[in-house]
Amino acid sequence: MPAEQRGPSGELFAEPAFRAAWWLRGGHRQSVWGRLTRLRRAIAYRRENLATPDGDSLVLDWMDGPPGSPILVVLHGLEGSSYSVYIQGMLAQAARRGWRGVAMNFRSCARDPGDLERMIPNGRPRLYHSGETEDLDFLVRTLAAREAAPLAAIGASLGGNVLLKLLGEKGARSGLRAAAALSTPYDLAAGARHLESGLRRLYLEPFLKTLRPKALSAAERFPEAAARIDVEGVRRSRTFREFDDAATAPLHGFAGADDYYSQSSSLRFLSRIGTPTLCLSAIDDPFLPGWVLERARSAASPNVEFLTPNRGGHIGFVEGPLPWRARYWAEETAVAFLAGHLERGGR
- Give the pLDDT confidence score for residue 258 in this predicted structure: 98
Last residue within a domain, chosen from 264, 288, 318: 264
Q: Which of 6-10, 212-216, 246-250, 328-332 has the weakest average pLDDT?
A: 6-10
Instruction: Please say if 285 is a catalytic residue.
Output: yes
Q: How many domains does the chain have?
A: 2
**Pair (93, 221) in one structural domain:** no
**Pair (168, 212) in one structural domain:** no
Q: Which of 9-18, 211-220, 289-298 has the weakest average pLDDT?
A: 9-18
| Catalytic one of 157, 174, 183, 264 | 157
Residues 31/316, Cβ–Cβ less than 8 Å = yes
**Pair (241, 337) in one structural domain:** no
| Domain assignment of residue 169, yes or no | yes
Question: With pLDDT > 70 as the criterion, what percentage of the chain qualifies?
Answer: 94
d(CA 337, CA 152): 10
Q: How far is CA 63 from CA 42, 60, 67, 265, in A?
A: 11, 10, 12, 30
d(CA 203, CA 94): 30
**Pair (203, 221) in one structural domain:** yes
- Give the pLDDT confidence score for residue 209 in this predicted structure: 97
Higher pLDDT, 194 or 16: 194
Please check the confidence at residue 346 and state whether its pLDDT lies above 60: no
**Pair (103, 222) in one structural domain:** no
List Cβ neighbours of 114 (8 Å cut-off, separation of 6 or more). none
We report the CATH number of the domain holding residue 309 as 3.40.50.1820
Question: Given pLDDT bands bounded at 50, 70 and 90, which one contains residue 70?
Answer: very high
**Pair (35, 126) in one structural domain:** yes
Q: How far is CA 118 from CA 36, 49, 110, 195, 245, in A?
A: 18, 17, 8, 26, 26
| Domain assignment of residue 347, yes or no | no
d(CA 180, CA 328): 15
Q: What is the DSSP letter of 16?
A: P
**Pair (72, 178) in one structural domain:** yes
d(CA 81, CA 87): 8
Residue 214 domain boundaries: 196-264
Task: Please indicate, yes or no, whether the overall pTM of this predicted structure exceeds 0.85.
Answer: yes
d(CA 94, CA 100): 7
pLDDT, tens digit, for every residue of 142-197? 999 999 999 999 999 999 999 999 999 999 999 999 999 999 999 999 999 999 98
pLDDT, tens digit, for every residue of 236-266? 999 999 999 999 999 999 999 999 999 999 9
Instruction: Please say if 314 is a catalytic residue.
Output: yes
Question: Given pLDDT bands bounded at 50, 70 and 90, which one contains residue 17?
Answer: confident
**Pair (111, 145) in one structural domain:** yes
Please check the confidence at residue 271 and state whether its pLDDT lies above 50: yes
Question: Given pLDDT bands bounded at 50, 70 and 90, which one contains residue 345?
Answer: low
Last residue within a domain, chosen from 245, 264, 283: 264
- Give the pLDDT confidence score for residue 87 in this predicted structure: 98
Given the DSSP bridges, would you call strands 151-156 and 71-75 parallel, antiparallel or unpaired? parallel
Q: Calculate the average pLDDT of the chain.
A: 94
Question: Given pLDDT bands bounded at 50, 70 and 90, which one contains residue 15?
Answer: low
Please check the confidence at residue 211 and state whether its pLDDT lies above 50: yes
